[in-house]
Structure 1
């Protein structure tokens, strides 16, 4: 299989930046289009940037989105301090609108979505964020992508050299992999696993930590 071309969101956040760095170094990736509200702060021959003020304003007829094999949707926010309506607009509405737009331009695309551990596929649990993430996962799986993979990582260790890592997160970088290895993984592994969803696929569309680790090999 030839090297793949990827659309990536969230490059200015920790997860997206880590996945971007893996894609830039991985020989199986030939081009990355980073779609974001602000520049990623990186320069590389593989990297193109498309800045948009609002993902909900992206048009499905936008040909800047055309010609890609996969979308790695790493954009997201914390639900802390948010009500369900606002969190749903950002987490569900924005993701699905974006997915519809890239699918329109790339009918054979594989879509990988960064969800979260303990996401609620029933959409009826007590945790608001888990219900909304579950609804997002379920809607994506019903769309006509070549493949949809919902990533449910736990603690994620950043890639060396990342700049988008919150200060309060840094003390835990070495603690979790040592004391809770089954609950943690690296952003290198997430990036490699996303690339491998395109290269070789995976039997399950829902990827828990163990699945991500297996797919990254």
Structure 2
């Protein structure tokens, strides 16, 4: 399977990249972004472009893992929609892939501004010609040395790491990890899923190594 990955410099994207490079079924990864992810691997090629809206059409790949995202804090709805809905749809229209896996967020069916924009993005992708899947993770624990680029997030993740296994057993439908999410996206990119929107419980099921 040949994979296009967006967001490889972020926490979720780095988790997805790690799983792509470890997966023997993935033969090539094209990481597209505004900056290098800083990883070197025989399966990895980078396409660095300062303006993702100006991206040229890309074909020859089987699936896209779209892990780009920003916090809506302090943003107007118009600004957030441009970097969430407009950019995602613009990129998706330029890819000739069989499956498109989009990282959304838990609560994307709610009434908050960010949720309305995320939901609209999900529906726009689902209406396209490829098979689109939206992943709605709740709390995501970074694994294997992956770190958030946001300082106070990093502190929170460090504090939560010792209790993550316990919390996951107690409330499996609300927490996941970068490893599990990355594996889930790859599995769905390869095999599909019974419905287009995956909540955290679905993500954990799809990304469970023992269920492969």
TM-score by length of 1: 0.87
Map 1:35-46 onto structure 2 (within 5 A).
35-46=32-43
Of 171-180 and 191-200, deviating more is 171-180
Does residue 1:93 correspond to 2:86, yes or no?
A: yes
Alpha-carbon separation, structure 2, partners of 1:185 and 1:41:
25
Distance 2:203 2:21 in 1: 19
Aligned residues: 201
User: Which residue is 1:111 aligned to?
Assistant: 100
Residues 1:67 and 2:67 aligned together: no
Q: Which runs of 5+ in 1 are unaligned?
A: none
User: How far did residue 178 of structure 1 move?
Assistant: 2.6
Please give the secondary structure, in 2, of the residue aligned with 1:173: helix
**In 1, Cα distance between the equivalents of 2:79 and 2:161?**
30
2:76 is aligned to 83
**Deviation (angstroms), 1:177:** 4.5
- Cα deviation for residue 186 of structure 1 reads 1.3
Task: State yes or no: 1:213 paired with 2:204.
Answer: yes
Which segment drifts farther, 72-81 or 154-163? 154-163
CA RMSD of aligned residues (A): 1.5
State the shift of 1:163 in Å. 4.3
- Stretch moving more, 188-197 or 10-19: 188-197
Note the 1:42-191 alignment, pairs <5 A.
42-60=39-57, 65-102=58-95, 106=96, 108-120=97-109, 126-145=111-130, 147-169=131-153, 170=157, 171-179=159-167, 181-182=171-172, 183-191=174-182
Residue 201 of structure 1 is aligned with which of 189, 192, 201? 192
Q: Distance in 2 between matches of 1:179 and 1:165?
A: 24
Supply the distance in 1 between the matched residues of 2:143 and 2:113 (Cα, whole angstroms): 30
